[in-house]
Structures are given as C-alpha cells and as structure tokens.
Structure 1
Amino acid sequence: MAHAPWNAKFEDVLRQGLPGLGKDKEPAADIPMEAYGLDSMALIGIVSALESAFRVSLAGQIVVPVHALTAGHLWGILSAALAPAWDESRPAAAARRTRDLGPWAVA
C-alpha cells in the first residue's frame, strides 16, 4: 500500500472525527470517507478541527458532496488553503488565500 500523501496531524484529525476509522486502519486517499462514518455533522467537526490545527479558513471551499468526499479531496483543499498566495505583496491576494479554491481541489 502506498504511503498517504498527507501529514500525521491531518490523519490525527481524521481519526478523531471518523468513528469507522479505527487505529488499525489507514484512510485511503480515494475511498469516500462515508465508508468510515462521515456524515454532514462529522464533516463540520473535522473541518473545524482542521481549521484550528492548521490555522486556516476552509469556509466555502468544500464543494464535494459529503457522500463522495475522500481524504484525498480534503487534503487537496487543505493544501490549497495552506499554499502561499502567488503575490504576497498585494494585500488583496493575501486575503483571498483562504477563500479561493484552485481547480485542482475541486472534484
């Protein structure tokens, strides 16, 4: 099995928010997290925990339906929010960093 593309902090948040993902299972990047118990309430908790842990805003960035959302999708969305803006010298560009979603994170 290939190593997950995300870091340990991300996986810890997933483990805390997904009841069906025990300590013995690794979340697969391409399996809908619904298989691990994800529902809309669990997603709210996971997003809130990710925002706190990584100090970003993911508001309005998760556009994948809950039943189809994978850990890979969520990691891509988080990675896009963490990526520095192309032009940090422009205040508007820095403010958009957590609002804009690159096309690579939309499924």
Structure 2
Amino acid sequence: MTHVWDAPFEEVLRAELPRLAPDSALQASDSLRAAGLDSMASVELIVRLEEALSVSIPDEELGPEAFATVGGLWSVVERARA
C-alpha cells in the first residue's frame, strides 16, 4: 500500500528520528521504534507535527498503533485534519 504524505510530515519525521536513512524513501510500514522513537521522543514528535501541520491531535488518538509505523502516524494526522 502506497501512502502519500505532505513534505512537512516527512521533514518533521526525519528531523526528529535521526536513524531514518536520509537517502531512502519512507515506507508506510517503516517502524518508528527502529527509527529511534521512544516514549520521550514521541511527545516531542507530536508537538513538532502539530506545529508544522497546524493540527491538534487528540490524546485518544495517541495509542500504540499511532506510533508503530510511519503509516500509522500519518493516519492519525489525516484524522486530525478532517
């Protein structure tokens, strides 16, 4: 499944998750944990995404599935925009 997300979304991910390979395309199935996301980084990541994308993500959207993969997090952002 191919996901298309905004450039600012990917820019924030790459800035906050330094283990993402800079020269490879992000895939929806890429693990955020493998990219360096931990509980402290997840808070910072959400704050940065909300600022960069002008969204407010409800706390109830921030379950484990939201932080499992790039695609899961993008789905949360899309729902916040709706």
- TM, length-normalised to structure 1: 0.66
Does residue 79 in structure 1 map to residue 78 in structure 2? yes
After superposition, what is the alpha-carbon deviation per residue over 1:31-56, rounded to whole angstroms, capped at 9, x for unaligned? Answer: 32111111111111110001101121
Instruction: Choose between structure 1 and 2 for higher RCO, CA contacts under 8 A separated by at least 6 residues.
Output: 2
Residue 30 of structure 1: CA displacement?
A: 1.0
Residue 7 of structure 1: CA displacement?
A: 1.4
For the residues of structure 2 that align with 1:12 and 1:30, how far apart are their CA atoms?
17
Structure 1 consecutive aligned stretches of length 4 or more whose deviation exceeds 6 Å: none
Q: Where in structure 2 are there 5+ consecutive unaligned residues?
A: none
- Corresponding letter in the other structure for 1:62: L
Identical pairs, percent: 37
**Alignment-derived partner of residue 103 in structure 1:** none
Task: Tell me which structure has the larger Cα radius of gyration.
Answer: 1
State how 1:1-107 maps to structure 2 within 5 Å.
4-60=3-59, 61-64=61-64, 69-83=68-82
For the residues of structure 2 that align with 1:56 and 1:7, how far apart are their CA atoms?
13
- Corresponding letter in the other structure for 1:6: W
Residue 70 of structure 1: CA displacement?
A: 0.5
> Residue 33 of structure 1: SS of its match in structure 2?
coil
For the residues of structure 1 that align with 2:23 and 2:78, how far apart are their CA atoms?
25
- TM, length-normalised to structure 2: 0.84
After superposition, what is the alpha-carbon deviation per residue over 1:48-79, rounded to whole angstroms, capped at 9, x for unaligned? Answer: 0011011211131111257x610100000000
Higher helix share: 2
